[in-house]
Structure 1
């Protein structure tokens, strides 16, 4: 597996590089956003470990741009901040996991392997599903709304896909985390709430219902399935 580690701290780069090479990963490093983009153009990696604080760019802005251009590459971000908001924002913008500094290198390796396993599963072929005036293309992680195609972030799509495949079923937050993020995920229930909120903004709150004290379910009228 090819990994690109982006951090301006040479000690962090060395620690992560050493730990990854012990797992026989092919590791490259970059100490700025500019160097990261150059590395991506030359040889895109299988996974990126990204510091949230870079000297020439905000890691949150970088994640946003990364997921627009390289949606298929998973990202684990590193942060020295303890703020829940930073962690939630990073996940909301498309990061697949996060780890706070200081960290045990073995913990980072475990998370790299867990994220990699989730990406290896890949999407299943499905037909188009209609939600009101919106068409959800189950083959391309996208939807058509008001005649315009919009790509959905991977986790938002996988959450929506889970609910579409099980219309009417109530999922509690833990089950959603296990099914969408995997049992190896280290986040908490707020991750689910953030992604549900974003989906409601995009497809309409009338389709995703909250079952108080239990969780969430998707309601699809029978005549809107295709």
Structure 2
């Protein structure tokens, strides 16, 4: 069942959660932070509502009845819809499913979580999506061209669709070519927070970017340290 959307200055966030108590807590915290909120409890209805309402972000529970959150996200990305998605999950083993499926989610948080932390995560993702102030010059490494102002990546005359997080990870590394960053440094600089399982998050996003870029990927692994961006080796 959906609830009427609320106009707000920071945009509309869709919360897809079948536990009414959790949905209401998240709704209240988002509203206090200045977001409009639309609630859905069903995956199929959420897909239709996303297309109709065009929210600025979607908070998506994995364990939905019927069409689960993983399938909702898969269908969004297959339809070239790159609305930022933040997964919520009740079990640690589901995290491995999220990270392993390379669905293009921008972030995730495990239950029980602090609604305030969740809202902070939404704000971080939206800051990335809105652009990167002060660094609008084109970045080039090999055949890869990154346009921060347009948030566009292209290589060999083809556009490469990236999530907000994937784009900012690539942008940060290409903006500091040749420098090696640890996983903790990347988590702080790109995601804007620290987490116990942050290393896995960074590794999976690096793998996602590499898979999308193919031979054009400038990301190099420095064993025992982290990652850097360099001219692709011929």
Alignment TM-score > 0.5, same fold? yes
Superposition CA RMSD, Å: 3.0
Paired residues for 1:19-30 under 5 Å: 19-30=29-40
Where does the alignment leave 5 or more consecutive residues of structure 2 unmatched? 1-9
> Is 2:116 aligned against 1:106?
yes
Deviations 1:52-74 (A, max 9, x none): 12223131222233345332x32
Measured after TM superposition, the shift of residue 184 of structure 1 is 6.4
**1:118, 1:182 within 8 Å by CA — same for their partners in 2?**
no
Question: Aligned residue for 1:17?
Answer: 27
Q: Is contact 2:141-2:230 (8 Å) kept?
A: no
Partner of 2:231: 220
What SS is found at the alignment partner of 1:18?
helix
Structure 1 position 35, deviation (Å): 1.7
Q: What aligned pairs does 1:3-14 form with structure 2 within 5 A after superposition? A: 3-14=13-24
Q: TM-score, normalised by structure 1?
A: 0.79
Pick aligned residue for 1:85 from 89, 93, 96: 96
Tell me which moved more, 9-18 or 169-178: 9-18
- Which residue is 1:192 aligned to? 202
117-126 vs 42-51, which moves further: 117-126
Return the offset for 1:194. 1.5
Q: 1:62 to 1:107 in 2, by over 3 A?
A: same
How far 1:207 sits from its partner (Å)? 3.9
The question of 1:155 aligning with 2:201 is answered no
The Cα shift of 1:29 comes to: 0.7
How big is the shift at 1:87?
4.2
1:151, 1:206 → 2: CA distance? 14
Q: Aligned residue pairs: how many? A: 218
1:70 to 1:162, Cα distance in 2 relative to 1, 3 A: same
**How far, CA to CA, are the matches of 2:28 and 2:100 in structure 1?**
29
Q: Using a 3 Å threshold, how does the CA distance of structure 1 residues 207 and 135 change in structure 2: closer, same or farther?
A: closer
Q: 1:209 to 1:17 in 2, by over 3 A?
A: closer
- Summarize deviations over 1:15-42 as a string: whole Å, max 9, x none: 2223323334321111112221232233
